[in-house]
Amino acid sequence: MSKVLIAMSFVLMFSAAPPQASAAVHGVAGGILKIPSNDSLAHCITGCGDIDFSYPFGIGPGCFRQGFDLTCNHSTKHPKLLGSSTVQITRMYSSYGIVFSPIFFNLTTSPGTNTYDMSWEAPAKGITIASDNTLFVVGCDFDVTLFEYGTGDMVGSCMSRCAGEKVPTGGPCNGRGCCLIPLTRDLPGFRAELVSTNTTATQSDWLHPGIMAIVAPQYHYRDDDGDNTNTTTLFSSWTNASNIYGAALSINIMDQPSCQSAQMNNASYACSNGSSCQNSSSGGYGCYCSSYEEGNPYILDGCMQELELDVALVP
């Protein structure tokens, strides 16, 4: 039995942020390494098409933290937002360092082949697939096992069986024509092995020939009650790529390996006064305002504004 390696559906490229020996104000290609004030960012572009973004992400010198540069390509009908050069960003939560980027595999099964490999690897250190993503696999008669990239540790497995019947749409993703594996932890990448258990079945489903795998936050595919999954949008993604929501990717500060070492280098420490620092599981760190109110921990007093707001709300 032959084994087929499925090519990635896209290429994701953020510029890697190499460690800086000196605490320069401007890093590689205009990336900032000190905490900017809101005023110093006043000249910066804040959107591309219908996607808004803010520091640490940005376009142009003085507008982004090293490693967080974006590109807006206006040559297409709808402007395309890209991480550094090639990857499409479909939405983002800037102050949490989160971007959404489509990760999907569109498998055309062929008779005689029953094992398929799907893999995705972060294009640069410091980029991880966030733990709240889920791998959804749509199609008939297969087993899937998901492994962490690098370590090879098993993350989970699931199976789909159709028993010769047509795939029901609109129901939960529960093993009939669809199955899912929650990631549960941040991953630097993954490898999924899919074994087709009835090659006749995947060939004979006239509605959706083949198998489709999508990585996305589970909340995007909830049903109307919000407590189960709903396969309608999943199935529509199969034929219409603009329904693919995108996987949540976490982008970490990488010019220092941890909060502790970053705090010993005041000039390049990214977390503003009033924000807290958290080590990332894949190395590097991120900054967080204390509550989930608006606030940007990467801008001077960016969390303080939130604090003032809170105080003002107290009668």
Ligand X SMILES: *[C@@H]1O[C@H](CO)[C@@H](O)[C@H](O)[C@H]1NC(C)=O
Where on the chain is the footprint of ligand X (CB under 6 A)?
Answer: 38, 42, 73, 75-76, 106, 108, 163-164, 170, 198, 200-201, 204, 223-224, 230, 232, 238-243, 258-260, 264, 266, 273-274, 279, 305
- Is residue 16 a contact partner of residue 66, using CB atoms and an 8 Å limit? no
Residue with CB nearest ligand X?
223
Question: Closer CB to ligand X, residue 37 or residue 154?
Answer: 37
Q: How far is CA 24 from CA 28, 259, 270, in A?
A: 10, 19, 13
CB of 6 to ligand X, least distance (A): 12
Measured from the CB of residue 79, what is the shortest distance to ligand X in angstroms?
Answer: 9
Which residue's CB is nearer to ligand X, number 115 or number 261?
261
Phi then psi for 65, rounded to 5 degrees? -70, 145
Looking at the DSSP assignment, which residues form a beta bridge with residue 123? Answer: none
Nearest residue (CB) to ligand X, 3 versus 166: 166
Closest CB 110 distance from ligand X, rounded Å: 12
Task: Tell me how far apart the alpha carbons of residues 298 and 287 are, in angstroms, rounded to a whole number.
Answer: 7
* Cα separation, 173 vs 222, whole angstroms: 10
Kindly write down the DSSP assignment for every residue of 125-189, as one continuous string: TTEEE-TTEEEEEESSSEEEEEEETTT--EEEEEEE--TTSPPPSSS--SSSSEEEEE--S-BSE
The smaller minimum CB distance to ligand X, of residues 147 and 280, is found at: 280
1 or 42: CB nearest ligand X: 42
- State the minimum distance, in angstroms, from the CB of residue 74 to ligand X: 8
Q: 78 in helix, strand or coil?
A: coil
User: Shortest distance, CB of residue 253 to ligand X, whole angstroms?
Assistant: 13
Instruction: Classify 225 as helix, strand or coil.
Output: coil
Q: How far is the CB of 154 from ligand X (least distance, A)?
A: 25
The answer to whether residues 109 and 211 touch, using CB atoms and an 8 Å cutoff, is yes
Q: Cα–Cα distances in Å, from 187 out to 92, 134, 249?
A: 19, 12, 10
Task: Output 187 or 299, the one with its CB closest to ligand X.
Answer: 299
